[in-house]
Amino acid sequence: MRRKSLTALLAGLMLAVALPAQAQEAAQAPAAEAAAEGLQIIDAATVDISEFLWLKRVLAVFSDTPADPRYIQQMQLLAERPRDLVERDVIVITDTDPAARSEVRKELRPRGFALVLVDKDGVVKLRKPSPWSTREISRSIDKTPLRRDEIREGRGGTLTQ
């Protein structure tokens, strides 16, 4: 009986170690596809949002672990139509380690999974507790005054219909 308990415990530990690695791989594959299309995806540990002021829109994707199904789904959604975000000067910053206390996490203060859009002027334009498609994100960006000015001046694509 004791031997079965030990075997079950070892199997559980092996599974616990394997699952985060598999989840991380599941999130990294779409990120690699999106990067191939020109979408910058940056780890929050290496940046500060102020670096992008007036240059890029920041789309921050937070979760408490890379194994969060919402995080994995969000990264897959971003990989489906990365060109829409590239046209709108968006970079993606990911943070899946709350213990690291990145500057981005300190500034935007997410709880669990969060999708946060910061416009070029440094103002938070969108906060969502669940994944959004690239089309929904693009539409939200297209409604901002700054984006409308860009389109009017001929600096970056057209409005999403």
pLDDT, one tens digit per residue, over 51-67 is 999 999 999 999 999 99
pLDDT of residue 155: 73
One-character DSSP codes across the chain: -HHHHHHHHHHHHHHHHHHHHHHHHHHHHHHHHHHHTT--EEEGGG--GGGGTTT-EEEEEE-SSTT-HHHHHHHHHHHHSHHHHHHTTEEEEEE--GGG--HHHHHH---SSEEEEE-TTS-EEEEESS---HHHHHHHHHTSHHHHHHHHTT-S-----
CATH of 37-152, one of 3.40.50.2300, 3.40.30.10, 2.60.40.10, 3.50.50.60: 3.40.30.10
Domain ranges of the chain: 37-152
What's the whole-model pTM score? 0.76
pLDDT (average), residues 99-119: 97
Average per-residue pLDDT for the chain: 84
Amino acid in position 50: S
- The band of 20, judged by pLDDT with boundaries at 50, 70 and 90, is low
Mean pLDDT value across residues 124-144: 97
